[in-house]
Amino acid sequence: MHIPMSKHISMPKHISTPKYQDEYLSIGWIINQSENGLFLIIADIQMQDEIINIYKRGPVGIYNYQTYPGGYSFQDLYRWAQTLSNIQTIFIANLQYAIQSEEDLQHLNFSRDMLSALNKNIIFLTTPYGDTMLSKYAYDFYSYLKLQIYFTNYLPENQLDIPSISADNIDIPDNKLDNTEYKNALMESANLINQALRYKDNALYQNCLTLLLEAQKIREPLLGTKHLEMSVLYIHLANTYQSLGLYGQAEAYFQKSKQIRTTLLGEAHPDTISCCINLASLYRTIGKYKDAKILLEHSLETQLKEFGENHPTTAICYSDLGDIYANLGDYKTAKQLYKKALPLFQTIYGKNHANTASCYCNFANIYEKTGEYTKAISLLKAALQITKATLGEEQPETATCYNNLSVLYSLEGDYENAELVMKKALPIYKSIFGKQHPYTATAYCNLADIYCFKKQYHYANTLYQQALEINIQSFGKEHISVATCYNHLANSYAQTQQYKKAISALQNALGILKKLFGKYHPYIAINYNNLADVYMALQDYQTAKEFYQKSLSIYKKVLGENHADTLFIANKIKDLA
């Protein structure tokens, strides 16, 4: 068992990792001790995936609206639940997809008693936006919940401690600035904005927000709140709030910018439509797919009316709508929209343009999700060829194509090609970002994973060690990326019988994980199991048994007595008796 390591290059976020041990213990209590009832977990989509992956091997049923898109229907759930006569606990994941309309929410509300009559533990999972919709529009259902579990640092918007900026508290006298003072004030605000955007480029979003709010203090009294220049600043603020996960504030600023541009430029102006596309992207992030679809479909309709089919923004609308359907798990519709977008990108930008390559990558992502790796590889190869021809070899887009292509080769078990392609990505990342950048560390880890599959552990050890050093330098010693590197490095050491080094690495990982997640997280149980396995290899059976028992104790509390991982560890202990 190993803590999973992401294989895709992504920008590191400077946020603290929430501690979820109490939340996992609460789920364990439901599975172990609750006879029946309705429960609600509030978590973003990625966290929901983690929860489902942890519990899916146990004696539970899982219905995921991402896999089966459509509005809420008790009859659908009832027919499915009837096939689970021996299952007491069921998870209903991504509920936010099923409550996109008032009708869906009413159906859920009216089914409250019928859900309870199933006499099962029914655990619904939804995003913070879904939670808000339930509390406002499905109160009867909401009031029936026995327990709500928050796997998020989300708070209701009225509890967020965000500074309020308005012209009322600006200490600049009206009509008393001469022309020089006016220009100097605008220049000061421009410098603040430029510095803020540099912070944003480095993912220092809180620093960025502070400077943008200072710029807002200066600019609103000078320009007013309906000036076109303010719409640009509001867009920057919206994007920053969105990056910080403060979606209510982000939406408010997007709406301000949209209103200014609609009034001054008109609904059909490209800048107005661009703002609508950004707002739709926010809606997609928070699960407001109905609103996102409405906004994009309206933008698309306006585009087609004003500019026709063969326009860059039309292609973008098709592509973004495809992304929404892909997120909903409706891959068929997503493909249809991508098929509309692709010829437009090819016609407008040319077959060898980077935007065309990006559309190929969207298609590849769909095929990867549906397990059609051969098609995905073909599309990524096409994207890679275009990217190399248009941008050049030494570009981050090219390196990312190589990286993702390598991951697909690994999924197919073609480790020779996976290694060959990853070795092309790695030097590009080194050249562009430097040898000490997190992107480079991720590429090291991906290549090390390939070496492990090929049983070339010496090379893997070296690369994991390099990645570890970079992550410590980039994020500090108590970061999840550091713990993950230690865990993978320990596995590689154990495979080459370097057991003392493996134990040391696992102990380092354990210390970090406890600080990040507490004592009762599944990652802690995995780590105890890995330590026990190493002591088994050393024939220190007493110590191995102690670590297996620690792992078992967590699994019982978090996963339940009959989960496959719980039974797996219990059998290991039984074999030692």
| pLDDT of 155 | 39
| pLDDT of 463 | 95
pLDDT digits (tens, 9 = 90+) for 258-299: 999 999 988 888 788 889 988 998 887 666 777 888 899 898
| pLDDT of 153 | 52
Q: At 157, is the pLDDT very low, low, confident or very high (cuts 50, 70, 90)?
A: very low
Is residue 478 pLDDT above 90, yes or no? no
Inter-CA distances, 179 with 190, 217, 279, 474, Å:
16, 19, 36, 46
pLDDT digits (tens, 9 = 90+) for 80-112: 998 988 889 999 999 988 998 889 999 999 999
Is residue 352 pLDDT above 80, yes or no? no
The top-scoring range by mean pLDDT among 152-166, 238-252, 407-421, 513-527 is 407-421
| pLDDT of 152 | 67
N-terminal to C-terminal alpha carbon distance within the chain: 22
Q: At 238, is the pLDDT very low, low, confident or very high (cuts 50, 70, 90)?
A: very high
pLDDT digits (tens, 9 = 90+) for 106-127: 999 999 999 999 999 999 999 8
| pLDDT of 176 | 41
- Alpha-carbon distance of 116 to 406, in angstroms, equals 48
Q: What is the arithmetic mean of pLDDT over 445-474?
A: 92
Percent of the chain with pLDDT strictly greater than 90: 40
| pLDDT of 78 | 92
Which comes out higher in pLDDT, residue 15 or 45? 45
| pLDDT of 169 | 32
Q: What is the arithmetic mean of pLDDT over 148-176?
A: 45
Q: At 452, is the pLDDT very low, low, confident or very high (cuts 50, 70, 90)?
A: very high
| pLDDT of 486 | 94
Q: What is the arithmetic mean of pLDDT over 11-17?
A: 27
**What sign for the dihedral angle of Cα 248, 254, 255, 256?**
positive
| pLDDT of 109 | 92
SS3 187: helix
Convert 121-159 to b/e letters by CB count within 10 Å (16 or more is b).
Answer: bbbbbbbbbbbbbbbebbeebbeeeeeebbbbebeeeee
Which residue has tokens 């670590």?
547
Is residue 326 pLDDT above 80, yes or no? no
This prediction has a pTM of 0.59
Which comes out higher in pLDDT, residue 161 or 458? 458
Nearest Cα residue to 215 out of 183, 191, 181: 191
| pLDDT of 40 | 96
Averaged confidence pLDDT in the chain: 83
Is residue 167 pLDDT above 60, yes or no? no
| pLDDT of 268 | 83
Which comes out higher in pLDDT, residue 204 or 367? 367
- Which amino acid is residue 52, in one-letter code? I
Q: What is the arithmetic mean of pLDDT over 458-472?
A: 92
Q: What is the arithmetic mean of pLDDT over 129-134?
A: 86
Is residue 154 pLDDT above 60, yes or no? no
- Alpha-carbon distance of 512 to 484, in angstroms, equals 10
Which comes out higher in pLDDT, residue 118 or 329? 118
- Alpha-carbon distance of 533 to 405, in angstroms, equals 33
Is residue 68 pLDDT above 70, yes or no? yes
Q: What is the arithmetic mean of pLDDT over 561-575?
A: 90
Which comes out higher in pLDDT, residue 344 or 417? 417
